[in-house]
Amino acid sequence: MKVLLVNKFFFLRGGPEVVMFGLMEALRDAGIEVRVFAMSHPDNIIVETGDNDFFPSRVDFTGSFADKAKALRRVFGHGDVVSCFKRMLADYKPDVVHLHNIHSQLSPVIGELAHKAGIRVVWTLHDLKLLCPAYVARRPDGRVCDECIAGKIHVLRHRCMKGSFLQSLIANMEARKWSRSRLACNTDAFIAPSAFMGEMMRRGGFPEDKLHVLTNFVDPSKLQELNRLANHTPAVGDFFLYAGRLSSEKGVVTLIRAAKASGVKLKIAGDGPACRELKALAANSPNIEFLGMLTPERLVPLQLEARASVLPSECYENNPLSLIESLCAGTPVVGANIGGIPELITPGVNGQIFESGNVEALAGILRCFRDSEYDRASISREAMHRYSRGVHMQQLLKIYKP
């Protein structure tokens, strides 16, 4: 079997790239030939197969007028992305084209070209883009919104793309160009990393027989570090841990307020556009510590030592890597009751659930949390199996070759 992995970025930019790179390694370890297709970018990883020579040129939505015009053409499937992808298909002749994040910088035209060439097309859904033109089902004022899920497009009405009329207009046109029926026709299988995502796709009218729920597996580098430290597990500390992006939809403001109200110690690992605002909010709280971005070697010991990890999201999470990594470490999770989070937590067994955005509810859980009530070895054992690479690959290969 020959698989072509497609993602708009080919460097570690976020969760989708972590998943894709982990999958690339897993496929190769299974003896499957793999190549990649992405947008040209100075941060891209160079591959021995010379795939970079097939990548379409970089588009920049923030550059000059000419840059923006070129980027706009790409959104609608025009420009060198078509010729470059056709050259890749002719050179490689893959059996499966596995799409990840492709909108805007690449374009769904890739799936259409592969389908017309008789190649099986599989698409992993990392976000709600196929249902929400603004990706996250959240309005600029912070409210969660699922108006577009049923099929009526309201992105322009609410100016969901960063509050901008122009950006929202482009997102509206993109959603109509690449309609759900068109995407479904050109895709053989959609992989939903959570039952929540699968249900949202069903609500959005995508064919149920093309939907497959398959959770992410743990980043190999994290798993390697967990295994290395398995016989040197530190004593449980007196702090709670947040590890992730520092942006408004992640609910870290709610977490900081809850930590201040409950008086618990909180360590925050990560970076993002809300970092300065969050540090200002916690300025007079010596029990709250910002650690910045951490390598797996530095993060894993904290995940092992924390009383619990906290995921206070105020947006529709899919299958959060930080949550499943904490469970694999044996650390219970306090998670918001939103998106795919609650399906991963059994209250009283591997964590607790609270109402998203509710400071008092979260503060109450943090204040009364008793780590001794949780069997950390059992949490780790169950999660290590559930989110193992081997289990993931068994199911994925059935989707590749039904």
Q: Residue 232: is its pLDDT beyond 70?
A: no
Is residue 293 within 8 Å of residue 271, measured between CB atoms? Answer: yes
Q: Residue 398: is its pLDDT beyond 70?
A: yes
Q: Tens digits of per-residue pLDDT, 276-330?
A: 999 999 999 999 999 999 987 888 889 999 999 999 999 999 999 889 999 999 9
Q: Name the least confident of 111-125, 212-226, 269-283, 366-380.
A: 212-226
Mean pLDDT across 114-124: 98
Q: Tens digits of per-residue pLDDT, 365-393?
A: 999 998 888 999 899 999 988 998 999 99
So what's the pLDDT on residue 62? 83
Q: Residue 343: is its pLDDT beyond 70?
A: yes
Give the 3-state secondary structure of residue 5.
Answer: strand
So what's the pLDDT on residue 295? 86
The confidence band for 50, taking pLDDT boundaries of 50, 70 and 90, is confident
The confidence band for 190, taking pLDDT boundaries of 50, 70 and 90, is very high
Report the distance separating Cα 11 and Cα 22, nearest Å. Answer: 12
So what's the pLDDT on residue 292? 95
Give the 3-state secondary structure of residue 264.
Answer: coil
Mean pLDDT across 212-236: 77
The confidence band for 167, taking pLDDT boundaries of 50, 70 and 90, is confident
Is residue 304 within 8 Å of residue 331, measured between CB atoms? Answer: yes
Q: Residue 67 is encoded by which pair of tokens?
A: 């840059």
Q: Residue 147: is its pLDDT beyond 80?
A: yes
Share of the chain above pLDDT 90, in %: 71
Q: Name the least confident of 42-56, 78-92, 335-349, 368-382.
A: 42-56
Q: Residue 137: is its pLDDT beyond 80?
A: yes
So what's the pLDDT on residue 158? 87
So what's the pLDDT on residue 234? 65
What b/e string do you get for 249-286 counting C-beta neighbours within 10 Å, with b at 16 or more? Answer: bbbbbbbbbbbbebebbbbbbbbeebbeebeebbeeee
So what's the pLDDT on residue 152? 81
The confidence band for 223, taking pLDDT boundaries of 50, 70 and 90, is confident
Mean pLDDT across 333-343: 97
CA atoms within 13 A on the CB side of 385: 5
Report the distance separating Cα 324 and Cα 327, nearest Å. Answer: 5
Is residue 145 within 8 Å of residue 128, measured between CB atoms? Answer: no
What are the backbone dihedrals phi and psi of residue 335, each rounded to the nearest 5 degrees, phi first?
-125, 150
The confidence band for 233, taking pLDDT boundaries of 50, 70 and 90, is low
Is residue 57 within 8 Å of residue 40, measured between CB atoms? Answer: yes
Most confident of 12-16, 169-173, 249-253: 249-253
Mean pLDDT across 59-76: 89
pTM listed for this prediction: 0.91
